Structure 1
Amino acid sequence: MTLFDGITARLIDTPRLTVNILERDGDDPATPPERTVVLIHGNGSSSLFWQEIMQDLPHDLRVIAVDLRGYGGTEHSPIDATRGVRDFSDDVFATLEALGIPTAHFVGWSMGGGMIMQYALEHPALSLTLQSPVSPYGFGGTRRDGSRLTDDDAGCGGGAANPDFVERLIAHDTSDEAPTSPRNVFRSGYVAPGYTTEHEDVWVESILSTSTATGNYPGDSVHSDNWPGFGAGTVGVLNTMAPQYFDVSAVVDLEPKPPVLWIHGTADAIVSDASFYDYNHLGALGIIPGWPGADIAPAQQMVSQTRDVLDAYSAKGGDVTEIALDGVGHSAHLERPAEFRHALLQVIGYVGRPAEPSPPTETIILRSAD
């Protein structure tokens, strides 16, 4: 595990499993919850991806990055996908309980965004920062209003993973010889064209920490009579976000409502109204043959669904800030760290060092019950 200056790792034993976390040297365990930030990564990554932002956040905060089960240094226990992302959420709750942290500000990236919404449905949260989050209705297989396209979630779940990418995970492939290598998937999917970094090897290392053991990534699938011929299974990562198991739209009814920051890129290839990871969109492009048409298999409007739910959250009294970064991909905290940092400090209500000028952003939409 490649750790940056000032970042340390340790294992936390919980009644559920042993969880790896990253912390910062010098952070005070007695820091109150209102100055505690918990970072949750997404699919195909780990806590390693958070290290730059951990280094950059003020040192009177306590910052913790958690490895979800099957990623990084956390145990590779099987995932019951019929619970949606609740296995992940319950693991994080057990970890914070072991650390004596009753609540905190939560930051979730991609799948991690869905996880912190699930967490907030069951446990107190001081704020939610959603970075390029999975739609509140899951990944794939739904109409704009969240209703499911088929009873078996055709085209969703474990069967949607590229088999060659999975084999390259197993082989710990660090090359860039094929489009499906983890390194090239990072370059084409995680970030927008033009992003460069001296830390790419660390990001690839993080992707390669993804467990492909039974019950982890990608998960199983079942035969479907609907195009493209498979539906969601019951175990593994990708099935946790199948719409039959995952729906966190009930966040609109949370009381009290934590403030929400939604930050995302306009060039996101993964979470989009035209996602290159959505089988129905790929079918419409002719990349996957046999597509039955938009009436039967429309592309999922992921960003629009998130906006609809957060608009409803605001209408019911919640404070929401949306920041859409022009030309940014799936990883705002890597691609535009100054904007990400500033927005995060705003939503957690940080008061400490003198106020900093707000970095320029392309689109900021404030929603408030007031």
Structure 2
Amino acid sequence: MHIKPLLYQPEIQSFICLISSILILLFKFYFTQTFSLFTLFLYLIIIILVCRRIATGDSYIPSKNTDLTGQTVIVTGAASGIGRASAIEFAKLGAKVIVGIRGQNRAEQTARLLAQEAKIIDTGKIVGYDLDLSKLSTVKQFANKILKHEQHVNILLNNAGMAHSIHSLTADGLETEFGTNHIGHFYLTKLLLPLLIRSKARIVNVSSTGHCFVDHRINYEFPSSSYNAQISYGQSKLAQVWHAFELQKRYGQQGIKAYSLHPGMIYTEITRRAPKSFNIFYHVVLLIVGKSIYQGAQTSLYCSLSNEARPGQFHGNCKEAKSSPLAFNKQLAEECWDVSEKIISEKTKYF
């Protein structure tokens, strides 16, 4: 595990501030025992406010000239969380937004709700298509709809993600986190790549500093006998960093720009399959040291829209961020690309 990159993230700094402040409080109380209830209450309020301010981090405000009218944006996983917030912001800026969500009826309903939230009169400006990234057949169907109906795609926000606490497999027989978070998006990007190149698009992978959980022992087999949920999640997110890095290296000269990012610690449905006790603890902690959903969407918007974002690099808190030493290892990135291509070739040969 690589600790140093984590320390640069606002929510981690906020957590350190919280723990330090509580320890100082306990230390003073133990030796002086002179705190009144009012003083204790005031101290705790100040701690929470300071920690919340640190955790918020930087925000991205598009310039007044930012106008996405005539542009098409795809957002995966926009039913909730930062994907939903990002889709709404793109729509407000004038883009046609296509959201990929599991279940066609659910996707269409979500698109209608997003249009209402964005106050879009033209309901055709936000379109919902069925997309289950854990099923490569639906990824292909989703991509086929895009290729059939769209002349260009200017931004592909590979946002959807999930975390699992136990070993499980996708419908295609892949480890669930790796198959959903990385392979599903890898396949979608591969299918849309000619259109993306023609559009000189931005491809934005929502990864995580969770990629720092992984050491040099990369294993694409994910054996159930030695399954580690943290490592599995971290490897899926590391693969997304490598994906953006390789996309930029291989196709950057053809006009595309690829980015990866850490959105921050946010309470979303990504942990819905985690144990209830963990979810309760996680939620309570994030009320103090986490970001809101809107705040968590800021770096996604930054990488999607800002000319200051660096193609091929890893971002966090609306700027280039520290990453694991493995993140830009050329040999490992190429190996992951080759493994992903091999998986896609094997799993989709009968489509």
- Name whichever structure is richer in helix by fraction: 2
TM-score, length basis structure 1:
0.34
TM-score calculated relative to the size of structure 2:
0.36
Which of the two has greater strand per residue?
Answer: 1
